[in-house]
Chain A
């Protein structure tokens, strides 16, 4: 008796035999969950019926810890929130403190903050694109992307001595000024960047296998993106023209000339493509910021060691590599915040996964998850 798969499947469907649902646990340790994410997937054959993300495997209680730390002691904790882009959490937190304690930041500090955050955006997007490339079978692109990230990390190491947890942006300014010659090396990097990005573009987006695995996968409509609170490249790839740097400008961004990259289809391909094209824009911003920057102090005068803001609350937000990153602080007049809350973009974006993965195969779930670029430090906090 031959085992004819064609006839077997047709008998099954003709009989209307109920197909048993298979529950598969992806994670919490899985190379494609980008950390310690876990997705409980209900499968009908190879097709995802339901995908439930389970979070909390990296819940370190940073928000609760902050209530027992002084305002300055919290800055190193914010480094460990989004560990792919530590500078953003530093900056978002410091902006909230500055708003709460009514501090003014020197102009040079604002320019340096813009430069480090745009460099961080390049590094973070390289990680996001690289991980997606590894998931879709373009591993060479991952190696190239990670090499570019390494160049940014080297610049940060020269700036503040740390490779990953920078603790650079402080309430009222920065921890230190840039060393001699740092600006020149930044300009050199930024000038060489477009050519390297072109190379990465052809390696990843020119790869027929990677293209085929991403196009039309996990399509997010603009309405859904707005309704679910998606931000960053995830929302912009769906055609939502929303970038805080442009539409709720902060710091010295109004003086910069750059474009917001907006996609059309909202699939995994567009989300990753948006990330790549944003890196070109970041390079433009860094170039302008270095040209406009001039000397001066990098830390505000008269900021006390022990910051004691008047009772009240403050919220501030910045555009991180993953979208809107907001920090809400409540002060009761003591040297420690009464409450700190982080509005994480990665958390809102991960909530889209059940909707986007439904109806796709298990192998496409990995592509959808990669294209949302989750960082579990920020999701679980």
Chain B
């Protein structure tokens, strides 16, 4: 990224506005074409995440290749329920990913807690409580096609939010980090106890 920045700055000094725009577009386009994924498979959705990479669905043709190392990847695919015990590990892995990075929340558990929203004490109700999520995919679990559609949506997002100087997209890193005092496991909107509405059979 540093080299791209320097090219951009250099061109700006030369007054090459038209060329700069074209380079930006090329960089943004190419960045979206090869989003390597960190498969953060924690529960059931991990099975569909694996299925998406294998025959019949074949994730590779979209340029998305699962790498089990956060330092090699651009996008973290959160697949499965995140529990309070797993939350610090997920956050740490996200922090290890190099910028620019994106997050895809796959499945209802990572969108809102899903089926585990009510009556349980150990599930994080939505990954966006501690990670900046870019794309939400609903489903329990979503089909592999839905995941691939989510990655295609993310590709559009990457192109829209250009990383070039001047129009750089500032990520909302105002979210509390684990070492901050304001970081807590408390749910900001705790659901009322019991089964409301779900009681009728």
Contacts and interface: CB of A to CB of B under 8 A. Distances in A.
A99 to B, nearest CB: 21
A83 interface: yes
B47 A72 contact: no
Interface stretch (B21-29, B112-120, B165-173): B112-120
Contact of A164 (B47, B54, B93, B120): B47
A206 interface: no
A35 interface: yes
A191 interface: no
Interface string A67-83: 01110110011001001
Interface string B30-59: 000000000011111011101100111000
Interface in B142-201: 143, 194-195, 198, 201
B194 A68 contact: yes
A73 B198 CA distance: 9
Contact of B116 (A56, A65, A143, A165): A65
A165 B44 contact: yes
Given A58-B81, A70-B201, A76-B115, A143 B54 contact: yes
Interface residues of B, number: 37
Contact of A36 (B48, B86, B140, B143): B86
Given A31-B68, A64-B119, A58 B201 contact: no
B89 A60 contact: no
B55 A147 contact: yes
A47 B86 CA distance: 28
B42 A35 contact: yes
B63 to A, nearest CB: 19
A60 B54 contact: no
25 contacts: A28-B86, A31-B68, A35-B42, A36-B42, A36-B86, A56-B85, A57-B83, A57-B89, A60-B81, A60-B116, A60-B120, A60-B122, A61-B120, A64-B119, A68-B195, A70-B201, A73-B198, A73-B201, A80-B43, A83-B47, A84-B47, A146-B54, A147-B55, A150-B51, A165-B44
A196 interface: no
A70 B56 CA distance: 39
Contacts of B85: 56-57, 59
Nearest to B198: A73
Contacts of B83: 56-60
B201 A150 contact: no
Contacts of B81: 58, 60
A80 B115 contact: yes
Interface residues of A, number: 38
A65 B119 contact: yes
A370 B20 CA distance: 52
Interface of A: 28-31, 35-36, 56-61, 64-65, 68-70, 72-73, 76-77, 80, 83-84, 127, 143, 146-147, 150, 153, 163-165, 305-306, 335, 376-377
Contacts of A59: 83, 85, 122
B141 interface: yes
B124 to A, nearest CB: 11
A362 B166 CA distance: 50
Nearest to A66: B119
Contacts of A64: 119-121
Nearest to B93: A29
A60 B123 contact: yes
A66 to B, nearest CB: 9
Given A56-B85, A60-B122, A377 B44 contact: yes
B87 to A, nearest CB: 10
Contacts of B118: 65, 68
Nearest to B120: A61
Contact of B120 (A57, A65, A147, A335): A65
Nearest to A81: B44
B201 A72 contact: yes
A77 B198 CA distance: 14
B51 A146 contact: yes
A226 B46 CA distance: 32
Question: Which are the 3 A-B pairs with shortest beta-carbon distances?
Answer: A83-B44, A31-B68, A61-B120
Given A60-B122, A65-B116, A147-B54, 13 more contacts: A29-B90, A30-B68, A31-B68, A35-B41, A36-B42, A61-B121, A84-B47, A146-B54, A163-B48, A163-B143, A164-B48, A165-B44, A165-B141
A153 B93 CA distance: 31
A290 B197 CA distance: 42
Contact of A165 (B68, B90, B140): B140
Nearest to A151: B56
A129 to B, nearest CB: 14
Nearest to B68: A31
A147 B57 CA distance: 11
Contact of B40 (A29, A58, A305): A29
Given A57-B86, A65-B116, A77-B115, A146 B198 contact: no
A38 B116 CA distance: 23
A58 B48 contact: no
A150 B52 CA distance: 11
Given A30-B68, A57-B42, A72-B201, A150 B86 contact: no
A335 B47 CA distance: 33
